[in-house]
Amino acid sequence: MTTHASFSTKKVKLQAQKVAKSYGQTQVLADLDLDVYDGELLTLLGPSGSGKTTLLQIVCGLVEPTSGRLLIDGKDETWTPVHQRDIGVVFQNYALFPHLTVEENIAFPLRMRRLPGNEINRKVKQVLEMVELGHVATRLPRALSGGQQQRIALARCLVYQPSVILMDEPLGALDRQLRETMQMEIKRIHRESGATIIFVTHDQEEALALSDRICLMNEGKIAQIGSPQEIYERPQSTFVAEFIGLSNILDGQVHGDSLHTRHGIFPLMAGGQQAGNAALVIRPEHMRLGARGNGGLEGQVSESVYAGSETRVVVTLAGGEKFIVRSSAQTPLRIGDHVSLDWDVANSRLLAV
Ligand code: ADP
């Protein structure tokens, strides 16, 4: 995994300790503990209403926690007012000053801090190069594209080197292609600047593409935190498996080294399985399609979607459960075809439910 050099030292930049937030009877965040490392790009990912924005607002000081503490560089900042926190924020709607040029927009936070003019010029030039906008420095923001405006907003944040940069769905307003280009841009800028970034998104593909670590939230708690690979390959709950990527889930009961399901008995990895209800998770790329009677799960093709390099096939079992398979087979399957599904036991993951 590639991470910024300073990330490997694992110095904690920001720490949430038992942070909780309630509005009346509704608990939005529940005793949340989170360490953000110096120089990492951490995404807060989760469904709508899981508490991502609330956590971000507590970090930047717009919302007070009901209990808990927030430390930045080891210093308690729980009650520090917004304008005294060394935190930069990039919003979805850019919030650029329309009457200032690109370079004036970027210089603004340095002027507020009363830096000498030559230092302002040097820093603005350096950041403009980083976001590759030197050629439009003297234009007004409205003359630029959405992606360029987003980069100005990011540059305006990077230029004064805040301790932590918060980005709240910053690419939400961009179309898909521009979003993907900007994701790569943000990754590069993050690498070059060494900034600590907390990035909020509800888009799991964006989180997988961008993050050093993903903090996946559900109902005000952290469902799992780890590298994109860890979260994708070793989900710790069916919520995580279903939220990140496509998952096939087979419910059953563990007896010894096998899973007893309504569709038959399937082997598990040998040893140490807890008896009781469990779910077996198999990613679509690990499912194999075969002819009926090959063993495995029996079902019928109910959907077949051509997606360029592969075809996504949906197989519906007798009980109505749908399984998704990525197939690169040359002969297309027809809706209604009877097929069987199997997988290598090493590519399946058993989760307690
Ligand atoms: P997310 O960013 O993950 O979508 P939010 O942090 O915005 O989630 O919201 C989490 C929950 O907190 C939601 O159920 C929302 O309705 C509730 N909530 C957020 N702000 C307030 C508020 N000011 N008053 C009451 N409830 C709120």
Decide: 23 in ligand 1 pocket, CB within 6 A. yes
55 Cα: distance to centroid of ligand 1 (angstroms): 10
- Full-model pTM: 0.86
Tokens encoding 177: 């292609």
What is the Cα Rg of the chain in Å? 24
- Provide the pLDDT for residue 3: 45
Distance CA 214, CA 294 (A): 39
Ligand 1 atom closest to the CA of 47, numbered from 1: 3
Ligand 1 pocket: which of 23, 27, 203, 204 to mutate (most atoms within 8 A of CB) = 23
Helix (H) or strand (E) holding 241: helix 238-243
Decide: 27 in ligand 1 pocket, CB within 6 A. no
Ligand 1 atom closest to the CA of 23, numbered from 1: 25
45 within 8 A of 204, measured Cβ to Cβ: yes
**In which residue ranges of the chain is pLDDT below 50?**
1-6
Residues 6 or more apart whose Cβ sits within 8 Å of residue 29 = 19, 20, 21, 51, 54, 55, 58, 65, 220
Ligand 1 atom closest to the CA of 55, numbered from 1: 6
Tokens encoding 310: 């592969």
Residues 6 or more apart whose Cβ sits within 8 Å of residue 8 = none
- Provide the pLDDT for residue 292: 86
Pairing relationship of beta strands 258-261 and 248-255 according to DSSP bridges: antiparallel
Ligand 1 atom closest to the CA of 57, numbered from 1: 6
176 Cα: distance to centroid of ligand 1 (angstroms): 26
- Provide the pLDDT for residue 5: 47
- Provide the pLDDT for residue 9: 60
pLDDT over 90 percentage in the chain: 72
- Provide the pLDDT for residue 2: 45
